[in-house]
Chain A
Amino acid sequence: MSDLLEFKNVTKTYSHGLLSRVSTTALNNVSLKLETEQPTIMTVAGESGSGKTTLAMLLLGFIEPTSGQILYKGKNIHALRGEERMMFRREVQAVFQDPFAVFNPFYTVDHLLTVPIARFKLAKSKNEARDKMYEALTAVGLRPGDVLGRFPHQLSGGQRQRINVARALVLRPKLLVADEPVSMVDASLRANILETLRGLQKNYGVSIIYITHDLTTAYHIANSIVVLYRGAVMEAGAVDTVIKTPQHPYTRLLIDSIPWPDINRRWGETAIKVRESDLSDHPSVGCRFSSRCPLVMEKCKQSPPLFRLSEHQAASCYLYEQNPAIDPEKLSELLPV
């Protein structure tokens, strides 16, 4: 089986200015793999500062990793040139968080859709281009007559976000990176957009990396989940297992803090141990969650490896050290597709 995308021990460090020696590790030794044959939806979850957007930027080739490699179809994405580079640009598409900021207010929606068609020479005639546009818009549940010829300000947030998905779709991508695509959209429209994304995976065979802090939507759309905290993988596995039976103290805290729209399920009882005001110094060695962890042990001063808990679940925590440790590079083997 060939890999569509592979993260090989990727680390990204941001340094603060020229003179300062302090640097922030946004992503620490992350290895991931997506296969070509089986399109899947993988969630990357975490709070702000967890490195999830860094991961998206790395994946899209906007920034280079400090160490490690990102391979697309077996080739380092920063070594791609010419034809191959165009191919990568076409096949890896993104949908960003803010549907209000990504449009040029002076152009109509048509422009946004025709430019990629022309740029990548996807249509031989005007009619073919039009058909492609109509098809993509219909696929995301929009009526072409409703949106074509309109300016962005004449459309709702949900419509704009679906046009973004349609724009990605005309290029027939293999991989879609969706960075918080629904966090700025009304709750009633979220369902529509998530439905659209899932339809893409099912009907068009697009793999999706869904980046979010919202575990509720992650649960509904994804097959697998990777939970990040300050750049390190805390827990990973099948989305059902991880969200229903979280094992890592951090994942438990996250899931306990979800406000479920169900009055019989009260907000978590687990107290939030440390207020962030006391958190000015994050541990640079050892488990990154240790300063906030209610179950912290002496051992946590050393970085815990990933322990395999079941076929489809692993947590990076010494609470589970009786379980077999697994190589971080093998992480994606336990993610179901």
Chain B
Amino acid sequence: MTPVLQIKNLQVSYYTDAGRARALDGVDLTLTAGEKLGLVGESGSGKSTMALAMMRMIKPPGRIEGGQVIVDGTDLMTLSEQTMLKARLSKIAYIPQGAMNSLNPVTRIGAQMVDAIKAHDEGSSRADIDRRCKLALESVDLSSSVFKMYAHELSGGMKQRACIAISILLKPKVIIADEPTSALDVVTQRQVMETIDRVQKQIGAAVILIGHDMGLMAQFVDKVAVMYTGRIMELSSVRDMFTDPKHPYAQALIRSLPNLENKGVFNGIPGMAPALLQLPGGCAFHPRCSKVMENCKTQRPPSTTISGGRILECHLYSEKA
């Protein structure tokens, strides 16, 4: 299968008074159509920066400093501002973190949907636009009366589903969902995730789900990428990640998860994530790593592919390769 999304050596830095923070430090990623990838990591690991960089929505003092984001054969980084506007929503769509705050409170949901279509297909007739909006609402399980409603008339889960409806209006190739359910209850969360799952299958888009809820990842995605200080530490299939994590950080992350069998056992990860302004040398995880070796302190581990197509950045595995 040809990849629908290829990210090559993507780099983003934020320039602050205290220095340059590398929020994204050379990330590579490939997704095929219909694939679902989970992007996990602690806050500050670069998950949201990655989503914004892919949408080319990084604002100063942040800057995309290099790399490619190729969607469906086009490198988004080379597009003009005008063409990028068209590419958003039609090639790559973004479901933001707080659905509560991302809809316009003073225009009806319908008007926002119509706007989105008009901005991309100027020629389409009113009847056609209406039909497409109704279809989109239907596919996220909202009644067509939502078309005439304002955001405040909807519950949290309905707002989030309205955002999903907007994001699929133009059948994008890639959908990025940034913690789409972090503000929702478990039951509503399940509804929203089931909705994303269904519409993603309908339009055959690849999905990147960003979050730190490993439970959600286990239930939803096909592949998991674990991020730490702007780099992908491990990329594995969801089954491999949960049954046999390889990177010491991924292992600690999986071990810290509560489940029904280990009641009352808490395995937190000792230490805290380093500040991006003063990253430790070598592997950024080495001060917290239980298997730290001498060369971890000085050399950054190269990206290594091991059996099962798993990609790791750790000296434990680079030596054997």
Contacts and interface: CB of A to CB of B under 8 A. Distances in A.
Contacts of B114: none
Nearest to B156: A48
B256 A258 contact: no
Nearest to A256: B190
Nearest to A156: B272
B42 A259 contact: no
How many A residues are at the interface, by size bracket? 35 or more
A219 B260 CA distance: 8
Interface string B250-267: 001110111110011111
Contacts of B158: 276-277
Contacts of B142: 277
A186 B42 contact: yes
B263 A276 contact: no
Contacts of A263: 218, 238-239, 242-243
Interface in A46-99: 47-48
A261 interface: yes
B268 A195 contact: yes
B263 A220 contact: yes
Contact of B212 (A186, A195, A221, A240): A186
A158 B43 CA distance: 11
B83 interface: no
Interface residues of B, number: 48
B190 A272 contact: yes
Interface stretch (B23-31, B169-177, B181-189): B181-189
A272 B219 contact: no
B155 interface: yes
Contacts of A290: none
Given A219-B263, A259-B219, A188 B269 contact: yes
Interface in A128-185: 156-159
B268 A220 contact: no
Interface stretch (A17-25, A209-217, A306-314): A209-217
Interface string A29-59: 0000000000000000001100000000000
B256 A191 contact: yes
Contacts of B258: 191, 216-217, 219-220, 261
A244 B217 CA distance: 22
B143 interface: yes
A187 interface: yes
B81 interface: no
Given A186-B42, A254-B186, A159 B272 contact: yes
The A interface is mostly helix, strand or loop, or mixed, namely: helix
Given A157-B43, A191-B267, A277-B143, A262 B218 contact: yes
A170 to B, nearest CB: 23
A257 interface: yes
A261 B242 contact: yes
Given A48-B185, A186-B42, A260-B259, A220 B264 contact: yes
Contacts of B265: 220
Interface string A184-200: 00111111101100100
Given A194-B266, A272-B190, A261 B218 contact: yes
Given A187-B257, A220-B258, A260 B215 contact: yes
B129 interface: no
A291 to B, nearest CB: 14
A156 to B, nearest CB: 5
A337 interface: no
Contact of A272 (B187, B242, B254): B187
B238 A254 contact: no
Contacts of A48: 156, 185
Contacts of A186: 42-43, 212
B75 to A, nearest CB: 33
Contact of A261 (B141, B191, B257, B272): B257
B213 interface: yes
Interface string B28-65: 00000000000000110000000000000000000000
B146 interface: yes
B70 interface: no
Rank and list the top 7 A-B pairs by shortest CB-CB distance, nearest first.
A259-B215, A191-B268, A192-B268, A47-B185, A191-B266, A195-B266, A261-B257
Given A48-B156, A191-B267, 16 more contacts: A47-B186, A156-B273, A187-B253, A194-B266, A216-B215, A259-B213, A259-B220, A261-B215, A263-B239, A263-B243, A267-B190, A272-B190, A272-B191, A276-B155, A277-B142, A277-B155
Interface of B: 42-43, 141-143, 146, 155-158, 185-191, 193, 212-220, 238-239, 242-243, 252-254, 256-260, 263-269, 272-273
Interface of A: 47-48, 156-159, 186-192, 194-195, 198, 213-217, 219-221, 240, 243-244, 253-254, 257-263, 266-268, 272, 275-277
